[in-house]
Amino acid sequence: MVLELRELDIFQGAKVHFIHVFGKRMIEQRTDGLLRGQLMDRVMRGICMQHFIPLKETVLDRSPFFQGWVEGWMREKDIEWLKPKDWFVRGHNIVDGDGAVNFDGMDVPVHKVGVFILMWLVLRFRS
């Protein structure tokens, strides 16, 4: 299955995202009831599956203690917690604001290295 999904990615440009739904959410959405023949409850009745999966919430929204826990065991001083919208700029070492101008007169971004956390992903960039 993994190879077939990789082929879809390479040849068709398809992107498949797997999202783990833990037990309490499965019970709430009644997905577990399908195996027992409960075909007219929650999701099967027409309630959207996304209603039960909080993809719009960050890990800090779901668990306010997570930030302190991570900062407690990481030995980094300047950790930057990024939201998904910040990832393509700051997550790639680019600082927002006016960039510099190179020798051709073209605008180039200003870079600043750092340690960034996006959800569960920790990336380290060093100069």
Instruction: Look at residue 122 and tell me whether its pLDDT is greater than 50.
Output: no
What is the pTM assigned to this prediction?
Answer: 0.48
- Write out the H or E segment, with its range, that includes residue 101: strand 94-101
Give the C-alpha distances (Å, rounded to integers) separating 90 from 14, 62, 122. 27, 23, 14
Residue 126 has pLDDT above 70, yes or no: no
Q: What is the pLDDT of residue 97?
A: 67
What per-residue confidence (pLDDT) applies to 121? 41
pLDDT in tens, 37-73: 776 777 767 777 777 777 677 777 777 888 888 888 8
Around 49, how many Cα atoms within 13 Å sit in the side-chain half-sphere? Answer: 6
pLDDT band with cut points at 50, 70 and 90 for residue 119: low
What's the distance, CA 123 to chain centroid?
A: 13
The radius of gyration of the chain's CA atoms, rounded to the nearest angstrom, is 21
Q: Which residue has the higher pLDDT, 93 or 58?
A: 93
Q: Which residues contact 69 (CB under 8 A, 6 or more apart)?
A: none
Contacts of 30 (CB under 8 A, 6+ apart): 38, 41, 42, 43, 44
